[in-house]
Structure 1
Amino acid sequence: MDLYFVKRSLAERYSDVLPAGPYGAVSLLDRRAIPDGTPVFLDRDMRPVEPVSSWFRHLAYQDRDPATMRSYAYVVSRLVDFLQERGTDLLSAGEADLVAYRRQRVAVQTLPVGESTWDREASTINGLYDWLTERGYVPRRPLRLSRRFGSGMVRQLQVRHLSLEQYLYFRDVGLGGQRPDGEVSAGFRGWCPHRGRAAAELALLTGMRKREWASVLLPELGVGVRRGAEPARFRLEACAKYGRPRDVYIPSAALDLVDTYLLLERTEIAERAALGLARRRRELFVVDRVDEETGKLSGVLEGRRRTFAIARMPAGLRAVTVRESERGLESLAVFLGQGGLMLGPSSWDRVRRDAWRRMLAYSADPRTPVLPRRPWRFHDLRHTLALQLLRHLTRAAVAAEVRRADPRSMVSLGEHIAVNPLLIVQRVLGHASPRTTYAYLSYLDDPMNYVEEALRAWTDSDGATYAEIARHLLEGDRDAQEG
């Protein structure tokens, strides 16, 4: 059994050697509306293997993200190979087979996977068997308890955040190629330092996830129509997690670094890539009209005239969106790679790893801030914004209460919602539930700071005991509540 992924442009490119007519590859893709990126399992005779191919088509019809389906496909492929070695298959496997597969992945194989990785795999397999049971392919689930297949552990959100000093070091030294003293490093061998710094600033000041900010298009930032110090706002939908729509606000400070990158680096990249993009014209969405008012792009895709709302364009479509310019074809993506198209997630991971190595090279410098054991991720910038925004809004809400003329007056529900720090941060980050946002509360202040302060105050006193220290802390908490 071999794994493939649907790509309509390839079927069109080789349409002259593939069967034509209603049963041709292109016709079947059109008639069944199978989107690009859908996994397909084929047997030795190049026929679809069922029912797994139908399950992935079902996921595609639910608009599941192609990257998500790809990860699911590798999970299913590993499971099928394991079951074949045991002389069984998906429809005949029993609980013992699946428990053996779990043990193989988490304990027996050369590099066992961690609990979080296994839980993601278990979720995929549970979803597959739910669908097989619902469609009647199997009489019942092989596992009697769905939770038994996962690790059963409930994990709290792990928040990693940066101080201002650490962030500037990450942005300017790691991504920007500077030395800790602010001078440009003569040994810097990176590429596009302004691009990395602009991306970090955009990630920090908007709280967008990597997939969200990496796929931003020029019209969404108002490039060409936005005035000087104006901020930008746009609707985020298809590229958001689970396609959950929200409005993104980009302050002018983030746009300043983006504008610098556009001026100093992006133009050169686009010019070098124009000829290569012209050869790939048939694969691209060539835009000839940008409607700023309605937020829509119109152009030619796969030989047909198409119009898309920018907010509803998935990352895959954005990656091939270009426009005609005086230099030739030019991508509409903000952040470009060497080929002139949108820089992908794996490339951004490489940029981040290179940045980490540069930061470690200056670890002995006294101006280098404390570095964590694990490399920083771009997602840590999202956590940093959440904590800083939550801390600022909480202080502002407390100050507003203090300034109220009549402390006995009641706050209306509308006022409570409008100024509630948790609800504001939830909207900014696009959390589906306030429960996720609540997890940040425990990171606002490190409780060990208070313990250290209490110990410093009491251990200097003669006869101080741990019981007295604990009583002192409790009295302090009670005084704060009464105040």
Structure 2
Amino acid sequence: MQVRALTRGQWEAFRDVGMGGRLPGGGFDASFRGRFPTRDMMVADLAVTTGMRIQEWRSVLEPEFQPVAGRGATLVLHAAAKNGRRRTVYVPGSTMASIEMYRRTERRRAVMHAQEGLRRRWPGLAQVSDIDPARGRITYVLEGTRYRCGLAEVPLAHRGLLVREEDGVIEPLSLLVGPGGLAPSQRAWHETFARANQRLHAMGEGIPMMPPAVTPHDLRHTFAVVVLRSLQLRAAGLEAGRSGAGEGTLSEHVVFNPLLTLQRLMGHASPSTTMVYLRYIDDSAELVQRAFESWSDQNRDFASFVLEQMPGPEAGGRRW
């Protein structure tokens, strides 16, 4: 497996300039013709701060987000996860703020503009009759068949078709919607990434050295490398601060093992897959100092910590 982890500067350029239509200096580019810059920038946030695969984040349903008091939200992946391997994903508070901005602006407009088309397609859509977010259950009818299951168990093929009607408005359940009001396909997302890469390479000055093309999986790799680094530092800090002599219990080593923790976060079947990331970890003294300072600051959420650990050019960020 080839790992391509972005530096923070590369990721910000991809998100803001490539996906968001901004200029390298921060201003908006009047020549930009992207239809959903807020959505696309939010996707860059979501992918890099959760480590989800493209098939996972593109099929997320709005009712799946379960708020965590003051600390973002969680969602359970199962049917959309690779090989159906169930896991819980934490979505940081700052990423949820990006999601909420998208919900209130572009998503709302897209859904309202798509009402006529959604009405025509209604017979072929998965019509939701009941949702119980607290229990994570949903009931819907698709092509004459009634389904009742957990939200996480909704098949990938059904997720983008789920809609419900409230007060005469057809509302898709998919978080991410396109011009037709339904979830964009995986191919459409690859095309969105391709356009962002083309824009970056055409921009010229003011852009950091970029890989030939940033892919959805590069954002997942970035999450993995950054989180593994932070977990190693946290484990080292816990070990250094542990009272008493000895090497700790077996349960302590399992709970605080960075590779096992990252394996769970990434949904890897085998630890050997996760171990590939080890050779991309920077253990400089400066990074250790910054990491410990970040972990001790209770006023900053996990997303801020993750993004601040993304190495910049001065830290020897990886180049292609």
Distance 1:370 1:431 in 2: 30
Q: Distance in 2 between matches of 1:380 and 1:441?
A: 16
Matched, 1:179 2:20: no
Provide the C-alpha distance between the structure 1 equivalents of 2:49 and 2:162, rounded to a whole number of angstroms. 26
The match for 1:370 among 206, 209, 224 is 209
Which residue number in structure 2 is paired with residue 166 of structure 1? 10
Aligned to 1:415: 252
Give the alignment of 1:346-385 within 5 angstroms.
Answer: 346-363=187-204, 365=205, 367-372=206-211, 374-385=212-223
Specify the alignment match of 1:221 in structure 2.
65
Do the aligned residues in 1 keep the contact of 2:140 with 2:146 (CA within 8 Å)?
A: yes
Hey, what does 2:274 align to over in structure 1? 437
**Contact 1:207 1:429 survives alignment (8 Å):** yes
The answer as to 2:46 corresponding to 1:202 is yes
The residue type equivalent to 1:162 in the other structure is L
Pair 1:235-2:72 in alignment? no
Distance 1:356 1:229 in 2: 35
Residue of structure 2 in register with 1:154 after alignment = none
Identity %: 40
Q: Which amino acid aligns with 1:179?
A: L
Task: Select the residue among 239, 249, 254 that pairs with 1:401.
Answer: 239
Q: Which of 227, 234, 252 is residue 93 of structure 2 equivalent to?
A: 252
TM-score by length of 1: 0.57
Q: 1:214 to 1:336 in 2, by over 3 A?
A: same
Q: Which amino acid aligns with 1:368?
A: I
Matched letter for residue 404 of structure 1: R
**Equivalent residue for 1:134?**
none
Which residue pairs with 2:299 in the alignment?
A: none
Give the letter for the 2:276 counterpart: A
Matched, 1:330 2:180: no
Shift of 1:339: 1.0
Residue among 148, 151, 171 paired with 1:310:
151
Shift of 1:229: 4.4
Instruction: Call closer, same or farther: CA 1:192–1:229 in 2, change over 3 Å.
Output: farther
Aligned AA (1:172): D
**1:429-468 → structure 2 map (5 Å cutoff):** 429-445=266-282
Q: Which one-letter code corresponds to 1:443 in the other structure?
A: Y
Residue by residue over 1:338-386, the C-alpha shift from the partner in whole angstroms, topping out at 9 and shown as x without a partner, is: 11111111110111111111111222x1x311112x2010111110011
Amino acid at match of 1:272: H
Cα deviation per residue 1:291-318 (whole Å; 9 max; x = unaligned)? 1122111133223443121111122100
Q: How many Å separate the matches in 2 of 1:298 and 1:218? A: 15
The question of whether the paired residues in 2 share the 8 Å contact of 1:286 and 1:299 is answered with yes
Q: Work out which of the residue numbers 251, 270, 285 in structure 1 matches 2:126.
A: 285
C-alpha separation between the residues in 2 aligned to 1:418 and 1:394?
12
Match of 1:190 in 2: 34
**CA distance, structure 2, for counterparts of residue 302 and residue 346 of structure 1:** 25
Residues 427-461 of structure 1: per-residue CA shift (max 9 Å, x gap) = 000000100011100111399xxxxxxxxxxxxxx
CA distance 1:381–1:186, shift in 2 (3 Å): same
Unmatched runs of 5 consecutive residues or more in structure 2: 285-320
Distance between the aligned counterparts of 1:233 and 1:362, measured in 2?
37
- Which gives a bigger RCO, structure 1 or 2 (Cα 8 Å, sep 6+)? 2
Q: Distance in 1 between matches of 2:250 and 2:69?
A: 38
Structure 1, residues 3-32: CA drift from partner, whole Å, max 9, x if none? xxxxxxxxxxxxxxxxxxxxxxxxxxxxxx
8 A Cα contact 2:68 2:74, kept in partner: no
TM-score normalised by length of structure 2: 0.85
Picking from 426, 439, 442, the partner of 2:263 is 426
Letter in 1 for 2:208: P
Give me the whole-angstrom Cα distance separating, in 1, the residues matched to 2:48 and 2:2: 17
Q: Contact 1:331 / 1:340 at 8 angstroms: preserved in 2?
A: yes
> Of the two, which has the highest radius of gyration?
1
RMSD between aligned residues: 1.7
Find the residue that maps to 1:280 and give its secondary structure. helix
The 1:403–1:437 alpha-carbon spacing in structure 2 relative to 1, beyond 3 Å, is same
Q: 1:264 and 1:330 mapped to 2: Cα distance? A: 15
Alignment of 1:83-98 (within 5 A): none
Report the 3-state secondary structure (helix = DSSP H, G, I; strand = E; otherwise coil) of the residue aligned with 1:445.
coil
Say which of 28, 32, 55 aligns to 1:211.
55
Report SS of the residue matched to 2:141.
strand
Task: Spell out the pairing of 1:58-73 with structure 2 (5 A cutoff).
Answer: none
Could you list the per-position Cα deviations for residues 254-299 of structure 1 after superposition, in whole angstroms to 9, with x for gaps in the alignment?
1111111111100111011112111122211111211112211113
Aligned-partner residue type, residue 188 of structure 1:
F
1:282/1:303 contact within 8 Å kept = no
